[in-house]
Amino acid sequence: MTPLRDWTHLFLVFLCVLGAPSSPNLNDAAPSMAPGTLVERQAGSAYKLQIEYSGKTFFDGWDFFDEPDPSNGLVNYVSSSTAFARGLAFWTADGTPGIQADHWTTLPIGTTRDSIRLTTRQLFSGGVFMIDVRLMPWGCGVWPAFWTLGYHGTWPLAGEIDIIEGIQAMNRNQMTIHTKPGCVVDQTPGRFSGQLLNPICDRASGGTGCSIVSTSPISFGEQFNAQGGGVFAMQWDGDGIKMWNWIRKDIPADVTRGAPVPAGWGQPVAAWGAATCNPFEYFKPQTLILNLNLCGDWAGGLYNQFPYCPGTCAEHIANPENLKNAIWLVNSIRVYQPQGQPPIPEQAPTNANLTGSPGPVNIVRPVADNSGAMNRVTTLASWVPAQVILGLSGLSVIGLAIV
């Protein structure tokens, strides 16, 4: 790949000592999830914290998937050493972990671009899953996702659960499950508030899975970021799978306290009930995945159906100027288990068989955006502290965003 960098619009990178001055905390106005005390958790919640990924230890429990993209994206998922050396995995000056696609290298059209796909070593079977997102990627050709994937068996026989997903400048989050034949959505009125796209969840329906789209126009992408981010939650228990999300100012107190009480969260945005889809029959132990894809089966396959996206997907992402918003900042990811129930001890010894995908997802046009969003570029400096701490050979690298 061409090593050319556009220093005028992106980063000036230089080495410095670890004691670099800090930058403003984007969450000063509203705190992210706080752990709370053990007493608080036990007194107010049926769940206890199993594991947390956050801060300077965020990456410790993840592997960097570096196989070819199974969703046919124009990405080159890189190893841990490459990710930190190139600044694709990093921490902001205030310690918030992040991942991003290369958005400084000009590439020939059709060339894969370096990006990140993380998979947890820990496997999970049931519980409450929460991700506190400070900033999520968006833009033409961009396809971010936070999801779970069954570790054993060929996709999707062990199941897949997509918690956050969208493409281009969509502003409504799309939630999907993928299963073997037999699982369908329970459409009893009042079970969920989102808009159902497809009630049949198995791959025989074209591989699309059964998707439910949020009706909130600030649940994904640029509009979600403008609210200061927020929290997405998924509950997986004997009653089925349910999902909620809140922008920063609406995060429930029990979530902030670290003592989740899903029964008090009201109607879920999406739900797949056990009566028509047994959650422990169709979903075997899962690994968590956080990735940032470009083009591919969904963002590339439907690219020409989004009038605000110019040219072709491959042409668009070849220019790094178009990918300034291709960045995740994650305050924390937490998994809670019911009190008194031990987590499964199994670990994923390798991620080489994790070749499922967040798709192909609904190769029909998704719910239309009403945001009127064109391919606006919110510069990195608008969202990320000016100084971004990147790991490189044990030193700190400061990236100064130049507008």
d(C-alpha 386, C-alpha 22), whole Å: 9
Q: How far is residue 132's CA from residue 124's CA, in Å, rounded to a whole number? A: 19
Say if 3 falls within a structural domain. Answer: no
Q: Say if 142 falls within a structural domain.
A: yes
Statement: residue 41 has pLDDT above 70: no
Instruction: For CA atoms 133, 301, 171, 126, give the dihedral sign.
Output: negative
- Look at residue 137 and tell me if it is in a domain: yes
Number of domains in the chain: 1
For strand 113-115 and strand 75-77, is the pairing parallel, antiparallel, or unpaired?
parallel
Residue 110 backbone zone (phi > 0: left; psi -120 to 50: alpha; other: beta): left
Q: Is pTM beyond 0.75 here? A: yes
Instruction: Convert the pLDDT of each residue in 294-311 to its tens digit.
Output: 999 999 999 999 999 999
Q: What is the CA radius of gyration of the chain?
A: 20
Give the CATH number, domain containing residue 299.
Answer: 2.60.120.200
Number of CB atoms found within 10 A of residue 70's CB: 19
Residue 6 lies in a domain: no
Q: How high is the mean pLDDT of the chain?
A: 81
For residue 403, what pLDDT band results from cuts at 50, 70 and 90? very low
Q: Are 166 and 186 in contact (CB under 8 A)?
A: no
- Kindly provide the residue ranges of all beta strands, DSSP E only, lying in 156-224, ordered along the sequence: 160-165, 174-178, 195-196, 210-213
- Choose from 98-107, 153-162, 354-363, 376-385 the range with maximum mean pLDDT: 98-107
Parent domain of 107: 11-401
pLDDT tier for residue 78 given thresholds of 50, 70 and 90: very high
Secondary element (H or E) of residue 38: helix 38-44
Q: Answer for the pair 97, 88: CB distance below 8 angstroms, yes or no.
A: no
Judge whether 83 lies within some domain: yes
Q: Tell me which residues are annotated as active site.
A: 160, 165
CA distance 155 to 141: 25
Query: How confident is the model over 258-263, as a mean pLDDT?
Result: 96
Q: For the chain, what is the total number of helices (H) and then of strands (E)?
A: 6, 21
pLDDT in tens, 160-200: 999 999 999 999 999 999 999 999 999 999 999 999 999 99
Does a structural domain hold residue 294?
A: yes
SS3 readout for 248-261 = HHHCCHHHHHCCCC
- The Cα–Cα gap between 195 and 256 comes to 28
Confidence of residue 1 (pLDDT cuts 50, 70, 90): very low
Asked if residue 362 is part of any domain, the answer here is yes
CA-CA-CA-CA dihedral for 182, 187, 190, 193, to nearest 10: 80
317-339 mean pLDDT: 97
Residue 109 reports pLDDT greater than 90: yes
Q: What are phi and psi of 72, to 5 degrees?
A: 65, 30
Burial 82-120 (b: 16+ CB within 10 A, else e): bbbbbbbbbbbbbebbbbbbbbbbebeeeebbbbbbbbb
Indicate the helix (H) or strand (E) that contains 290: strand 286-294
Answer whether residue 177 is part of any domain: yes
Residue 153 pLDDT level (bands cut at 50, 70, 90): confident
**What confidence tier does 263 reach under pLDDT thresholds 50, 70, 90?**
very high
- Residue 198: alpha-carbon gap to chain centroid: 22
Instruction: Kindly state the DSSP code that residue 43 receives in the 8-state scheme.
Output: H
Question: Cβ contacts of residue 2 below 8 Å, gap of 6+?
Answer: 105, 106, 107, 108
Q: Who wins on pLDDT, 391 or 206?
A: 206
